[in-house]
Amino acid sequence: MSAESITDYDALVADLRQEVVRVQGELDEATKQGVRAAEYGLAVLEEKNQLQHHCENLETLYDTTKHELQCTKHVSVTDSVPEI
């Protein structure tokens, strides 16, 4: 091997090492972004579940209040009819 080919080989190895470092950095960043996206997705799902549970509670409260109002109206109508 000549001195020139050894220098070329060393330069190639150095370039490849730099490329490996660059690609590893990009991979690390992509991995971090993936983790952040997954964490955000989980947070969104958790908030959706909380809102859905809150909505179900409100629907139950609405149904209960509606039933109580109907009962109150029925009692009110029954009480307002004069006895003979």
pLDDT tens per residue across span 31-84: 999 999 999 999 999 999 999 999 999 999 999 999 999 999 988 777 765 666
What is the C-alpha separation between 43 and 67, in angstroms, rounded? Answer: 36
Closest CA to 72 of 64, 84, 82: 64
The string of pLDDT tens digits covering residues 57-69 is 999 999 999 999 9
Question: Cα–Cα distances in Å, from 47 out to 11, 51, 55, 74, 84?
Answer: 54, 6, 12, 40, 59
Assessment of whether the complete model's pTM goes beyond 0.75: no
Say if residue 1's pLDDT is above 70: no
pLDDT confidence of residue 80? 66
pLDDT confidence of residue 83? 60
The string of pLDDT tens digits covering residues 20-29 is 999 999 999 9
DSSP, collapsed to helix, strand or coil, labels residue 39 as helix
